[in-house]
A and B are shown apart, each in its own frame.
Chain A
Amino acid sequence: MIDVEIHQRIGNFLLDIDFSGGGGITALFGPSGSGKSSVIKVIAGLTRLGTGRVMLDGAVLADGESRHMPPHRRRIGVVFQEARLFPHLSVRHNLRYGRLFTPRREQRVAEGPVIDTLGIGHLLDRHPATLSGGEQQRVAIGRALLASPRLLLMDEPLASLDAARRLEILPLIETLRDEFGIPIIYVSHAVEEVARLAEKVVVLDAGKVAREGSPADVFRVAADRFEIISVVEGRLGKPNEAFQLTPVETPAGIVWLNGIIRPEGRTAHVLVHAIDVALATHRPEAVSIRTVLTGTIAGVPDGPGPSVTVDLTLEGGGRLAASVTRAAVAELGLVPGRRVFALVKSVALDERPV
């Protein structure tokens, strides 16, 4: 359990933040320059806390006055944007570096499973300079984990990687979260990453906490309809190899994702942009859209513009936002309590968001 309270000027920027994170992944989300990395540095002890308090599992790490535990005593691991591997050491010795300083009884994370999960077994004798960006970042994650940290901070660990490498590492972070039981604070400005990984999202804006809550709650509210996002949870089903589609089974219906995604049975979070959802009052037939979810209308906001974001409660409890014109609302009689079918374009749900 981490409790963070920071009130301080960093550069020409005022940080005024108060949040806490539990087990699992807590995401710090916001545009660049919103103060995310500064928060990470204060938690790690790399920046001295001005006013406030940082507590981990009930112990005060820094109080802005007399108490400032130096970074090497905090046992808080950091995965930086750049891998920061030690260039004079092999991958193996990079991985074992933190172990040198971890008391034996606190070495909770074993080398074998970490190396297997990250798929870096074949790299152990190589030097960092000979690794690709994705490989370097995987080693950096392994290095941080093997110090058996009490908390792991990940500061945009995928930002310096291309889309393909990102897709390769994202599932690994998911596995780490589930397997090693180390709480993680994950910094990102990518909605897809945050919605997929985090249990809790803290949205930062200009050095302040703008919103916090579950990904589904946080991303449902946005000023611009293009930014409104719903998160639908389901289980990965058996992929359809012939058509290159993978079903995600939810109580409200099956969401079809482009591409073959495994493993079967894993929980998946699917991102749906409100502008990619259409509504129908009868189950549509003979349409190209494959994904149809059933639910009831929870709310239709009043508004002056031509379109509104209709809030649905999906069968089984999920929420879904649909951006439709007010003309459609009037014509179809979309009022709260009305049972509707939500049509979601499957091309909007490619492998990227899963």
Chain B
Amino acid sequence: MPDLSPDAWIAIALSFKVAAMATLWGVPVSTVLALILARGRFPGKALFDGIIHLPLVLPPVVTGYALLLLLGRKGPLGAFLDQHFGIVFAFRWTGAVVAAVVMSLPIIVRAIRLSIESVDTRLEQASGTLGASPVATFFLVTLPLSMPGILVGATLGFAKALGEFGATITFVSNIPGETRTIASAIYTASQSPEGDGEALMLSVIAAGIGLAALVASEIIARWFRRASS
């Protein structure tokens, strides 16, 4: 079995960093979006829902290209962030985080939304009659009761972020040590004649991590089902 090169280890570490950050940002954002979708009533809700789910059906390269147009140094939002806050996403690892968030959002939102929808609104009413404002009710009743979906969403989102390739490479390219994640490293290795062994090893590692995350999310879901029955 061939050893992994130092570059491959760097790619694995970077992937974990990107996926962890993407989960950290993605879960709160998804929770807010899921709450809006589960409880909100407003015109254009179906369109809003569609836009959130768009990355699921678009070719990832399109999502990446859209991010490049929007958040690139010359893009409208990218230029604004650069000039006013000095924040640059293009060709940085932080850009890989943005791509991972956008790509994993539909999965996380879906899991959390289902969980919020299963919370009995009559409990929220009861909370209101006990003096809790809607915000307090959300944090003390809705959020804790949605925890299974949030944890499942976080695990799946983490796995998705770890494996993200198309949008990432389009948006932030494939720079060793900066934006070369496991997926990009596999792609690079598979393109070189002597890289077959490394591509295979990294692929096995990627599959292992993905499977572990799926099993973990299932165990979490089952554990909550048992605790609540």
Contact = CB atoms under 8 A, between A and B. Distances in A.
A associates with B: yes
Interface in A63-116: 70-72, 74-78, 80, 82, 84, 86-88, 97-98, 100-102
A98 B145 contact: no
A97 B127 contact: yes
B130 A143 contact: yes
A84 B228 contact: no
Contacts of B122: 80, 82, 84
Interface in B98-127: 120, 122-123, 125-127
A147 B130 contact: yes
A49 interface: no
Nearest to A75: B131
B141 A86 contact: yes
Instruction: Identify whether the interface residues of B are mostly helix, strand, loop, or mixed.
Output: helix
A100 B130 CA distance: 9
A46 interface: yes
Interface residues of A, number: 26
Contacts of A141: none
Nearest to B130: A98
B192 interface: no
A84 B132 contact: no
A340 B125 CA distance: 55
Contact of A86 (B123, B131, B228): B123
Interface in B129-176: 129-134, 136-137, 140-141, 144-145
A147 B130 CA distance: 6
A88 B125 CA distance: 16
Max chain B C-beta neighbours (<10 A), residue from A44, A78, A101, A143: A101
A144 interface: yes
A87 B145 contact: yes
Given A82-B122, A84-B123, A86-B141, A76 B132 contact: no
B132 A88 contact: no
Given A86-B141, A88-B144, A101-B136, A147 B125 contact: no
B197 interface: no
26 contacts: A44-B129, A71-B125, A72-B128, A72-B130, A72-B131, A72-B134, A75-B131, A76-B129, A77-B129, A77-B130, A82-B122, A84-B120, A84-B123, A84-B125, A84-B126, A86-B123, A88-B145, A97-B127, A97-B132, A97-B140, A98-B130, A98-B131, A101-B131, A102-B131, A129-B228, A147-B131
Given A72-B133, A87-B145, 10 more contacts: A46-B128, A70-B128, A70-B134, A72-B131, A86-B141, A87-B123, A87-B228, A101-B130, A101-B133, A102-B131
Rank and list the top 8 A-B pairs by shortest CB-CB distance, nearest first: A101-B131, A98-B130, A71-B128, A84-B126, A78-B129, A72-B128, A88-B144, A147-B130
